[in-house]
C-alpha cells in the first residue's frame, strides 16, 4: 500500500482523536499526559541512574509505539478501524482506561519522592512493598499497560493496537532493567526477596 503524504494535512481535523465518541479516549490520555508531566518536578535527588545508551533498550519500543498510537500513521495510510464500538462500548473502554490510569497514579503518589521517569537510585532509596507495590512490583506500568491496551483495542486500528503492544513491551523491558539495577543498588537480600514475593506486572500471578 502506498504512503499518501497528502492525507497528513487532514489529520488535524479528522482521525480517531477528533471523532466522537473515540475523542473521549483521546481527552483522557491528553489529561493524563499533562498531569503526569506537570508532576514530574516532584521527585527526590538522584544518586545514580542507568546510562542513556543502555536505556534505549526500552525507550525505542516506547517511542515507536507512541508514534503508532497517535492517529497520524493510520490516517496517512488511509487505514480504517477493524471494528467500530458504539457509545456504550467506548464508555466502558473509557471507564477501564481511567481505572488503569488511576491505579498508576495511586502507585506514583504512594512512591512519592522515589519516583523517576528514568531508572534511578534516589537518595535514601528503600524497597517500597506497601499499597499497590504489595500487589505488583511495577504498578505504574501495570496501570498504564492495561489502560493503553484497552484504548488500543477500543479504537480498533492496527496501528493503535500495535502501538499499545510495543509500549507494553518497552515498559516490561524497563521493569526488568530496573530490577537488575535496584538489586545491585539496594541489595539482593532486600530487593531480591521482594521480587520473589510479589508478581512483576500482573496481579495474583506467580512472582518472577
Instruction: Map out the domains of the chain with their CATH numbers.
Output: 61-203 (1.20.120.1630)
Point out the least confidently predicted range of 27-36, 42-51, 197-206.
42-51
160 C-beta neighbours (distance < 10 Å), count: 27
Look at residue 182 in the predicted model and tell me its pLDDT: 87
| Residue burial 26-63, b: 16+ Cβ < 10 Å; e: rest | bebbeebeeebeeeeeebeeeeeebeeeebeebeebbe
Q: What average pLDDT does range 48-56 have in this prediction?
A: 68
Point out the least confidently predicted range of 13-17, 50-54, 55-59, 79-83.
13-17
Look at residue 87 in the predicted model and tell me its pLDDT: 87
Contact call for residues 200 and 137 (beta carbons, < 8 A): yes
Task: Give tens-digit pLDDT for 93-142.
Answer: 999 999 999 999 999 999 888 888 777 866 677 889 999 999 999 999 99
78 C-beta neighbours (distance < 10 Å), count: 11
Look at residue 8 in the predicted model and tell me its pLDDT: 44
Residue 43 in this model has a pLDDT that exceeds 90: no
Percent of the chain with pLDDT over 90: 54
Q: Between these two residues, 8 and 145, which has the higher pLDDT value? A: 145
> Measured between alpha carbons, how far is 21 from 89 in angstroms, rounded to an integer?
10
Look at residue 13 in the predicted model and tell me its pLDDT: 47
Look at residue 1 in the predicted model and tell me its pLDDT: 47
Q: What is the average pLDDT score of the chain?
A: 85
Q: Which helix (H) or strand (E) holds 90?
A: helix 87-111
Residue 72 in this model has a pLDDT that exceeds 90: no
| Number of residues in the chain | 208
Task: Give tens-digit pLDDT for 132-178.
Answer: 999 999 999 999 999 999 999 999 999 999 999 999 999 999 999 99
Highest mean pLDDT among 68-82, 138-152, 172-186: 138-152
Amino acid at each position: 500500500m502506498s504512503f499518501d503524504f497528502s492525507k497528513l494535512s487532514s489529520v488535524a481535523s479528522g482521525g480517531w482523536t477528533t471523532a466522537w465518541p473515540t475523542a473521549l479516549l483521546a481527552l483522557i490520555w491528553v489529561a493524563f499526559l499533562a498531569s503526569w508531566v506537570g508532576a514530574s518536578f516532584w521527585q527526590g535527588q538522584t544518586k545514580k541512574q542507568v546510562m542513556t545508551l543502555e536505556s534505549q533498550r526500552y525507550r525505542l519500543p516506547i517511542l515507536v509505539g507512541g508514534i503508532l498510537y497517535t492517529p497520524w500513521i493510520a490516517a496517512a495510510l488511509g487505514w480504517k478501524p477493524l471494528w467500530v464500538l458504539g457509545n456504550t462500548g467506548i464508555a466502558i473502554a473509557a471507564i477501564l482506561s481511567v481505572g488503569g490510569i488511576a491505579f498508576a497514579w495511586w502507585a506514583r503518589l504512594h512512591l512519592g519522592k522515589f519516583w523517576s521517569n528514568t531508572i534511578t537510585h534516589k537518595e535514601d532509596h528503600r524497597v517500597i512493598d506497601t499499597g499497590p507495590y504489595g500487589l505488583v512490583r511495577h504498578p505504574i506500568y501495570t496501570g498504564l499497560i492495561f489502560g493503553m491496551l484497552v484504548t488500543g483495542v477500543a479504537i480498533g486500528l492496527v496501528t493503535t493496537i500495535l502501538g499499545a503492544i510495543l509500549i507494553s513491551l518497552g515498559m516490561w523491558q524497563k521493569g526488568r532493567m530496573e530490577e537488575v539495577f535496584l538489586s545491585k543498588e539496594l541489595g539482593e537480600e532486600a530487593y531480591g526477596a521482594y521480587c520473589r514475593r510479589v508478581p512483576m506486572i500482573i496481579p495474583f500471578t506467580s512472582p518472577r
